Structure 1
């Protein structure tokens, strides 16, 4: 419009015999308030009006606004000098006007401005033809302005589109109904390798889509061309694409239809998901494989066993499952380091791969535990031949970081003869056979037998019933008093769990606690014992009785469990409003020796909360001053193994005296377990041990008997609480 308008105004001025033609732009509705001179034409004899004059003139005065009011309604304004007054007359004088005709310029239904035709030499009246002609010109100017706006908006929109498209991380591709590329952004160049020049104008499916997609792509294009419809439109699909370098990559494609220049086109958003798919594949692999050895893990191995079971049912082809455990692998880790241990496991995995038949499968379950599935056995016992090969390659030296390392393995085998229906049952059978092989000397293998079958079945039944016993309160606690041997004062109570089976009566703790420990059920059992001990302690306190320290045995598995033991203990104490000093946690010396950094932190946390820590069965493990220094124990309990022999075995007596002296030097409380004779009590007192527990003082007592004892507050040699039928257990096996 800027180039055409000067000529239009000149022709208009000549046709109207006017002296001046002005195009004014009204900005009073915008932040740029005022009227601005957009374009003008005037005869040379007429003084030129300065552009800035219009921006300074007070068009907002009431008289001028009233005069120009028809323009806002889309009508024209005419005026001669002789019919003006006030502000309008002043306007005529400043512009040296005699007559004026103004027509509004309308753009999109709003007043954009106006076209004014001036006569400066004489007054004149404007004919209807002139008025209509000026309106036509004004309409043309308005239409041109509107078109320019649309063009500008379109250009800006295209610029924004290209800016967004060119900076987008995803590829943006536009193809027509024949599959010819019309647009290809920079991300498409980066992701797919083809430049825009290479891609635009070519049929996309012929070079970008793998051959397996060609037929379906052709069908989709034919359907799309008829009406812009297609099964892939409006959906996001995962496909493959061929890069310019020939590599196939995974992509995510979303398609939408669009009409462009009267033709149906498809706009595609393409995202490279190769990294994501690789990550997903890696996650799937990790879920089924061992990272260290790249062998299948337990999950994948169980599936292999299930397939072998199904094949056995169809074809009656024998198979066997083998558990493999390296002997004393912990010693290798402790002496050479965990990195060397990991390297040995990798070498062993490679040997097993090379030794086993193609039909066999080997897996790593974790640590030094491996499993082998031997298939296609004409006789299930033929697995022994494979087992001999495994033992042979395991016994050969390993060279780790220049050092020659020797190790052996123990194997347990289970064949398809026993309850061949559940992979977990077969694994349990192989594990039981492995356990017996280790008990017989290690470095060998054993098959699962009928006797072992009955043992495993009984253990599984026992665990199921124990789980039910915990849920149905078939368990109860008894307490063995801990006394000061000089005064007989009650200094503590050790909580001992008992199980009254509804059909089999009392089941010895030595029978169900090891099974619970091996299965992990010990965690639930331990929680029950802790909570029940705290509940009964609160009951005694509510009865007004003075309660000493309550000792609760804790399994090493509880320390290594998923929950925070220290927080769990604190929460249980808080639940029954008990102070931490009323609780003592007992942990065996052997478990203490195996404690990791995390376990040490748990014990430290317990001590910081005020809970006491006792080392149970002291002297039976690998006693070490360093462990006693590092772990925050408050008490050591000398094992019954030594106490029972102190009167007749000089070695046991020496160990007991040393333990008492060690406790005294380290400011640890010392208590003797399993004291049964007055002679033992006298020797212990003579050597400086003040506290003890055992049948000499009291057997484990029921809640009611403990209540009576707490009322008395002491135990004497002659006045021990008598044993009832339920208290005739031959030992006080603790949890």
Structure 2
């Protein structure tokens, strides 16, 4: 290329680079008027007609500032993973040209089925459509929101100067607040919640659309474990957790068959006497390489593998054998709590299977408390769940409502489900001795339970001060690390024998709330 050609190319590039900036483009009319005023007609004509033609031929007038993605989806448009990866790659290229950065938010909507009520399907899709403008209102105009799957969104931030964690959490706070607003469909109002996984360009293991999308998948997977409205940002630890999950998913079948997954037991005691009123069976995986794993490490993996029913039966059988062993050792253990997941409750044969196992081991049904999460009460329209719970109640099993106070259970739900005992969530118990607001909440729950003739148990009791306040307030049962941590069966016998000097309750009737008839 000749010197003249190189100079012409350099001038053209400079003009186009300057013209692509809005602040320079705004000067064109003024420059043309200035040239015309001083008699430079040719220059004026060039600025008025020539330069726009050059820009149009170059494509600059047809693009937004910065080249942006080559294919930009409409807000809420369903896009496949490959298409999303391409959009992110384009945004990353734009960021490199402009010295900017970006981030991805992977959003999953929970409880889409709540809106179904009793009037047919299609509510989930309608709900997602309602959420698109809400989410868009929390973002900038150039940010991209697209659907991924039946219940997910991917948000791609347009190139920005700052995408640090504080900035991203501000976006997430606005986003989740908008999602959580009531939704009205077909005359029914309900709420949904969301979990969010975050990956900024700086957090990504590699600078590519595929790596960033996979990283948000990892972060979202961990967020889902924490429940509604949880948020997680990608980091190397999360990547290791997800890789461990995958490893565990290939070992679940052998673990269930070999007895690696079995219950540990946490005592529940009378607040006044300290006597044992029961144990709660909590799953533990005795992994040969990773050690003892708590439920938060493997329950999601088991659910994803569809092995929840097998885990439930495994824990129930081991719990029934423990009751027999405690009886043989001369220990008084009135009740054993068994956790039952929502997926299990949706099995039409669950109640019959539990009743069959209990009858097989010749255990009285009233010695088994079926523990259900408070969120289950929102499924009162589900005929299978209601049938299972009603069948268990009629057979004599007790029902415990777990984590009470964190969900949306109403008095009507509690009465309709026939709950025997509510377990006050630990968030209301922690620091109750120094927090009047927590005492007021617990006092209200205790008063409600007493009126409804329902027993209560405070979870997460960790200090003698908390025990003393709860006993003084009239909470009959306590559970938590301050009483005892979960322990393998072998240790429960010695622990219980050390408490033999404590007065034991005479019957299960003593487990009812004080002050009731």
Normalising by the smaller structure, the TM-score range is: 0.5 to 0.7
Kindly indicate whether the alpha-carbon contact (under 8 Å) linking 2:461 and 2:478 is maintained by their aligned counterparts in 1. yes
Q: Offset at 1:341?
A: 2.3
In 2, Cα distance between equivalents of 1:677 and 1:431: 39
Aligned to 1:575: 360
1:549-564 to structure 2, matched below 5 A, reads 549-560=335-346, 562=347, 564=349
Q: Offset at 1:644?
A: 1.5
1:458-477 to structure 2, matched below 5 A, reads 458-477=244-263
Kindly indicate whether the alpha-carbon contact (under 8 Å) linking 2:280 and 2:338 is maintained by their aligned counterparts in 1. yes
Aligned to 1:344: 126
Kindly indicate whether the alpha-carbon contact (under 8 Å) linking 1:488 and 1:714 is maintained by their aligned counterparts in 2. no
Kindly indicate whether the alpha-carbon contact (under 8 Å) linking 2:335 and 2:366 is maintained by their aligned counterparts in 1. yes
- Which runs of no fewer than 5 residues in structure 2 stay unpaired? 1-77, 84-103, 131-145, 155-178, 200-204, 206-211, 504-517
Aligned to 1:588: 373
What secondary structure is seen at the aligned counterpart in 2 of 1:512?
helix
After superposition, the C-alpha distances for 1:637-693 in whole angstroms (9 at most, x for unaligned) are 111221122111122111111111111111001111222222222211221112212
Select which of 351, 367, 370 maps to 1:566.
Answer: 351
State TM-score, norm by structure 1. Answer: 0.40
Kindly indicate whether the alpha-carbon contact (under 8 Å) linking 1:462 and 1:512 is maintained by their aligned counterparts in 2. yes
Kindly indicate whether the alpha-carbon contact (under 8 Å) linking 2:197 and 2:234 is maintained by their aligned counterparts in 1. no
After superposition, the C-alpha distances for 1:481-530 in whole angstroms (9 at most, x for unaligned) are 21112222221111122222212222233322343345433332222111
In 2, Cα distance between equivalents of 1:701 and 1:433: 31
1:633-672 to structure 2, matched below 5 A, reads 633-672=419-458
1:596-611 to structure 2, matched below 5 A, reads 596-597=381-382, 598-611=384-397
1:417-496 to structure 2, matched below 5 A, reads 431-432=217-218, 435=221, 454-496=240-282
After superposition, the C-alpha distances for 1:185-216 in whole angstroms (9 at most, x for unaligned) are xxxxxxxxxxxxxxxxxxxxxxxxxxxxxxxx
1:721-732 to structure 2, matched below 5 A, reads none
Alignment CA distance shift 1:429-1:570 (3 Å): farther
Q: Offset at 1:705?
A: 3.3
After superposition, the C-alpha distances for 1:111-151 in whole angstroms (9 at most, x for unaligned) are xxxxxxxxxxxxxxxxxxxxxxxxxxxxxxxxxxxxxxxxx
State TM-score, norm by structure 2. Answer: 0.56
In 2, Cα distance between equivalents of 1:608 and 1:632: 10
Q: Which moved more, 1:654-663 or 1:470-479?
A: 470-479
What secondary structure is seen at the aligned counterpart in 2 of 1:567?
helix
Alignment CA distance shift 1:677-1:335 (3 Å): same
Q: Offset at 1:337?
A: 6.5
In 2, Cα distance between equivalents of 1:399 and 1:621: 20
Higher strand proportion: 1
Kindly indicate whether the alpha-carbon contact (under 8 Å) linking 2:106 and 2:216 is maintained by their aligned counterparts in 1. no
Aligned to 2:401: 615
In 2, Cα distance between equivalents of 1:656 and 1:433: 34
Q: Offset at 1:607?
A: 0.6
Bigger Cα Rg:
1
Kindly indicate whether the alpha-carbon contact (under 8 Å) linking 1:490 and 1:715 is maintained by their aligned counterparts in 2. no
- Which runs of no fewer than 5 residues in structure 1 stay unpaired? 1-294, 296-300, 306-321, 349-361, 372-394, 419-425, 718-735
In 1, Cα distance between equivalents of 2:429 and 2:223: 33
Q: Which moved more, 1:333-342 or 1:695-704?
A: 333-342
| Runs of 4+ deviating beyond 6 Å | 322-326, 334-337, 345-348, 362-365, 398-402, 407-413, 426-430, 436-439, 446-452
In 1, Cα distance between equivalents of 2:264 and 2:193: 45
Aligned to 1:120: none
What secondary structure is seen at the aligned counterpart in 2 of 1:488?
coil
Select which of 696, 700, 719 maps to 2:482.
Answer: 696
In 1, Cα distance between equivalents of 2:345 and 2:464: 37
In 2, Cα distance between equivalents of 1:612 and 1:519: 29
Q: Offset at 1:547?
A: 3.1
Q: Offset at 1:534?
A: 0.8
Q: Offset at 1:608?
A: 0.7
Does residue 502 (structure 1) correspond to residue 284 (structure 2)? The answer is no
Q: Which moved more, 1:496-505 or 1:604-613?
A: 496-505
Aligned to 1:686: 472
Q: Offset at 1:345?
A: 7.7
Aligned to 1:333: 115
Kindly indicate whether the alpha-carbon contact (under 8 Å) linking 1:412 and 1:435 is maintained by their aligned counterparts in 2. no
Q: Which moved more, 1:578-587 or 1:479-488?
A: 479-488
What secondary structure is seen at the aligned counterpart in 1 of 2:483?
coil
Q: Offset at 1:323?
A: 12
In 2, Cα distance between equivalents of 1:669 and 1:630: 16
After superposition, the C-alpha distances for 1:523-566 in whole angstroms (9 at most, x for unaligned) are 32222111110122123334454332011112222112x45211
Q: Would you say how many aligned residue pairs link Structure 1 and Structure 2?
A: 357
After superposition, the C-alpha distances for 1:280-323 in whole angstroms (9 at most, x for unaligned) are xxxxxxxxxxxxxxx9xxxxx99x99xxxxxxxxxxxxxxxx99
Kindly indicate whether the alpha-carbon contact (under 8 Å) linking 2:422 and 2:456 is maintained by their aligned counterparts in 1. yes
Q: Tell me: higher relative CO, structure 1 or 2? Use CA pairs within 8 A at least 6 residues apart.
A: 2
Alignment CA distance shift 1:518-1:489 (3 Å): same
In 1, Cα distance between equivalents of 2:313 and 2:407: 26
Alignment CA distance shift 1:706-1:399 (3 Å): closer
Aligned to 1:540: 326
1:269-308 to structure 2, matched below 5 A, reads none
In 2, Cα distance between equivalents of 1:512 and 1:586: 19
Aligned to 2:514: none
Kindly indicate whether the alpha-carbon contact (under 8 Å) linking 2:118 and 2:381 is maintained by their aligned counterparts in 1. no
Q: Offset at 1:451?
A: 7.4
In 2, Cα distance between equivalents of 1:326 and 1:643: 30
In 1, Cα distance between equivalents of 2:268 and 2:184: 54
Kindly indicate whether the alpha-carbon contact (under 8 Å) linking 2:340 and 2:372 is maintained by their aligned counterparts in 1. yes
